[in-house]
Amino acid sequence: MLRLMRHIFRAIGWTPLVMLCLLFPPTDAAAQTLSMGYVDQEVYPLLVDDGEAVAPSPGIVVELIQRAVASANGRLTLTRLPAARLYNSIKNGTLNGALCISFAADRAQFMVYPMRDGQPNSDLRCARLRYMLYTKRSSTLQWDGKTLQTAGVVGAHRGFSVVGVLRAAGAQVYEANSDKQLFSMLAADRLAAVAALELVGDQLLAESADAQLIEKLPLALISQDLYMTVNHETYAKQSALVEQVWANIGKFRQATNAELLPKYLR
C-alpha cells in the first residue's frame, strides 16, 4: 500500500516530506502544555514546603491541578518563584499562568480567571483559603469579624498569614508546626482557641475524641477563593484546554480533597 502511494505522490510531484506530513500529521504538543508557576512559600496543606523545589508530595492544590490537566489530555510543568517574579514571568510570557491565586483587579489586567456573570466563578476555584476559629463550647471567646475578645492564647500554624491577623485583632498567639498538636492543646485547655484552615480544622475536629466539646465559630478570620489563571495570550491560543482544566478542577476538587487530606495532615 505504501509503495503504491509513493508512486502516486512521485507522479504528482509531492516530496517525501509532504508525504510524511500527510501520512503522519504533526501534533501541536506545545498547544497542549501549560507552564505554570506558584509561590515559593508554603501554604500547608495546599502548597507544601518553601523554596524553588517542587516537593514529592507537593500539596493538595498541586495534585488537584495535575489531575485536572492530565484528564484534559494536557501536559503540566511547574516552577516556584517569589510572588513578584511569578507575576512578571506571567506578564512577559515566560510562564503561562499561576497555579492558584486570589482574584485582584490589577491581576485581571494580565490574567484570565474563570468567570461567571462578571465575577470569578467560585465553583471552579482550586481552593478556599478560609481560616476559622475552633474553641471549647464552654469558652467565653468572642469574634465578631473585627474584634477578638479573649483572655487566653490562640494557637496557629507557624508562619501562616493568619498569625498576623490574630495579632492585629489583639490576640496572644502560640505558633506550632502541627495542627494536630494545636487541637490536642485545645482539648487539654492549654489554648483558648485554634485558628486553622477550615479544610484541616474540620477534618481534625471530626477525628477528635473531644469533638462534642469543641465548636467552630461562624465567622471566618480570612476567606479567599483561589483560582488557576493564565495570561491573555495563553487563553487566546489554548482556550479549549484551559476551559476543560477549569471544569475538571470544579469536578475533581471535593473528591480530591477528601482523598488526599489524610495524607497531608500533620
If you search the block for the grid coordinates 465553583, which residue do you land on? Answer: 123
| Number of domain units in the chain | 2
Tell me, yes or no, whether 47 and 174 share the same domain: no
Residues 133 and 148 in one domain: yes
What is the share, in percent, of the chain residues with pLDDT greater than 90? 80
Same structural domain for residues 146 and 259?
A: no
Per the domain annotation, does 191 fall within a domain?
yes
Q: What is the CATH number of the domain that holds 82?
A: 3.40.190.10
Same domain, 174 and 245: no
Mean pLDDT of the chain: 89
Cell numbers 477525628 correspond to 207
Q: Does 22 reside within a domain?
A: no
Tens of pLDDT along 202-218?
999 999 899 999 999 99
Residues 106 and 185 in one domain: no
**Over the stretch 121-173, which tens digit does the pLDDT of each residue have?**
999 999 999 999 999 999 999 999 988 999 899 999 988 889 999 999 989 99
Pairing of strands 193-197, 214-216: unpaired
**Total Cβ atoms within 10 A of residue 170:** 10
Residues 6+ apart with CB under 8 A from 160: 43, 44, 131
155 & 185 share domain: yes
Q: What is the DSSP letter of 45?
A: T
Say what the pLDDT of residue 122 is: 97
pLDDT of 4 above 80: no
- Alpha carbon 71 to chain centroid, angstroms: 17
Range of the domain at 186: 127-223
Has residue 1 been placed in a domain?
no
The helix or strand, by DSSP H or E, that contains position 162, with its residue range, turns out to be helix 161-168
Rounded distance between C-alpha atoms, residue 227 and residue 230, angstroms:
10
Q: What local confidence, expressed as pLDDT, does residue 3 receive?
A: 54
Mean pLDDT of 50-61: 96
Claim to verify: residue 90 and residue 204 sit in the same structural domain: no
pLDDT at 5 over 90: no
Residue 5 lies in a domain: no
> Is residue 235 very low, low, confident or very high in pLDDT (cuts 50, 70, 90)?
very high
Residue 38 lies in a domain: yes
Q: What is the pLDDT of residues 177-188, one digit of tens each?
A: 899 999 999 999
| pTM flag (> 0.85) | no
Residues 6+ apart with CB under 8 A from 111: 90, 97, 98, 229, 230, 231, 232
